[in-house]
A and B are shown apart, each in its own frame.
Chain A
């Protein structure tokens, strides 16, 4: 009973963090929310995984955030007022997040019926993150936000997939994919930002 309550609290954290990532413009806040999201995901994964294996997801997730954060921290020129201002788009994004939450709440019992034993909070948390990630990817072409969207979608999938597949190789490879996405995100953030000359320019 106690773990169930904590799992539902984790789902609430998932909802708050996913909504914050979608609506708040400040990248620091978005990465902070992502860290909270990974913690909630860790708890939900630990419902089906041993603690040591579920902590791999937490550590890999936080390492990814650290990689992205350090890279973005050195790009202060990119910080503009637009990063912190709320616009009409924010309300639209909040409504979208509401739709995702409603969809997840509607689909959760159906999936629990189809695949018994996964647990309602696990399904709900996973679906919210998948939905939020997809919405995030559809709303932006900003590299950091695209990376966060992919990571959000993946962590939602990992929560659900952990309930059906517990192979160590898959856990390790998924952690590698998460870390790889973090490194890829920082590489793309750096690309074009560092004032290097292209071979074409060097020839001129």
Chain B
């Protein structure tokens, strides 16, 4: 057995089989179970080390060759695989509780396997092709056959596909730059190509206009899953570039450009988010602001910057899955999700509204919630590099906090004589409770992640030094 077959081919094929054979309900359980098993396997069974179980010797080899190119998942990738499949399991189990999420688990499983292929493929710049394929598979999840595709979906496809040529071509140019680092023109051209590619992939300002539209016109659960999956793998991909090319990580102008992009994203998303009157759009702007934080984090060159990046990514998975589940439950009552429709729903869906607010506050960096430790560490690092940058990030997050307070005010604005009800199912309540509890634990006991976080930076041998 080889690692790429276990973590790429197996979920890909199983996703296909689930899609064909299982109904909606059981597909969520099957997808969730497989993801959980893959996460546990990554966490406890070492890659490329022989294990003796009784008389059976078990060894997961790290590489497999396809058409002269290899797919590699090494020992250092194991914590990342555990994180990805663990959070995926949370998403897939939650899909059943979220209600009407079309073909979510099987397609989600296939998407995660393709995205895992993007971190395993060598040469690593071919990852852009896997990201493009994952984009195409995401569309049936977003647009069921009875619904016309909207502007957000079309822009999502166009921007993600646009990124691929830029990344592929810049990869070829970067090899030339590495061979001849003194050539400033080709360095500038390669840098420009790469920036364009990542600007489309991350949806850097102003290219993020499709994200709020997507949350408005499609299933919030499916769209939020994509807002977790794509930026997570894109960050890993971007860190791979920084790790491999010395000149990229040592050029201060590139760090400054990444930092500026991150600040602009966080500040603008916070500003626009504060004025939204739609629950889905508030989630979209919070997710954009957090992507900005990730960019600000990767621009840092401190010892701990990789830990900050992974701390944000872990919290983001829990925040988005809990928030999206809560919105999906509320959507069953108030389909449009506008503030005028959801007014006073806290008394009808107390658990969903509570979880939504916890997730929203966590994204804003509220103390003692999952998002707080990473934001505190980021502020600390940023303030020593650029106090102005730290201030702008603070302003952006303040905007997200304002939108959380506005959502809270709207959701609790019920008539005085309205009775408290409990309309969530047991499964929904359990999943919301797990997500909320996870956020509180991540906020109160971030050190619990330390053993896990210690292993993750090893993925990038040069950046981790």
| A102: Cβ under 8 A from any B Cβ | no
The winner among B148, B161, B335 for most chain A CB atoms within 10 A is: B161
The answer on a CB contact under 8 Å between A192 and B148 is: yes
| B444: Cβ under 8 A from any A Cβ | no
The answer on a CB contact under 8 Å between B161 and A181 is: yes
Contacts of A181 in B (CB 8 A): 136, 161
Task: List 6 additional A-B contacts (Cβ < 8 Å) besides A184-B136, A192-B147, A196-B145.
Answer: A130-B165, A167-B68, A168-B68, A180-B136, A180-B137, A181-B161
| A residues 114-129 touching B (CB-CB < 8 Å) | 114
CA distance A66 to B186 in the complex (A): 40
Count how many chain B residues have C-beta atoms less than 8 Å from C-beta atoms of the other chain. 37
With A167-B69, A169-B66, A173-B126 already in contact, the answer to whether A150 and B145 are too (CB < 8 A) is no
Q: Per-position contact with A for B38-67: 1 when CB-CB < 8 Å, else 0? A: 000000000000000000000000000011
The answer on a CB contact under 8 Å between A169 and B168 is: no
| B120: Cβ under 8 A from any A Cβ | no
Q: Per-position contact with B for A121-149: 1 when CB-CB < 8 Å, else 0? A: 00000000010000001000101001000
The answer on a CB contact under 8 Å between A172 and B67 is: yes
Among the 9-residue stretches B151-159, B244-252, B254-262, the one with 4 or more Cβ atoms under 8 Å from chain A is B151-159
Among the 9-residue stretches A17-25, A36-44, A157-165, the one with 4 or more Cβ atoms under 8 Å from chain B is A157-165
The bracket for how many chain A residues form the interface is 35 or more
Of A143, A150, A165, the residue contacting B161 (CB under 8 A) is A150
Of B126, B149, B165, the residue contacting A192 (CB under 8 A) is B149
Residues of A bordering B, CB below 8 Å: 114, 130, 137, 141, 143, 146, 150, 153-154, 157, 160-161, 164-165, 167-170, 172-174, 176-177, 180-181, 183-184, 187-188, 190-192, 194, 196-200
CA distance A168 to B69 in the complex (A): 9
CA distance A184 to B158 in the complex (A): 12
CA distance A188 to B140 in the complex (A): 9
| B238: Cβ under 8 A from any A Cβ | no
The answer on a CB contact under 8 Å between A161 and B169 is: yes
Of A130, A150, A180, the residue contacting B158 (CB under 8 A) is A150
**Smallest distance from the beta carbon of B159 to chain A beta carbons, Å?**
10
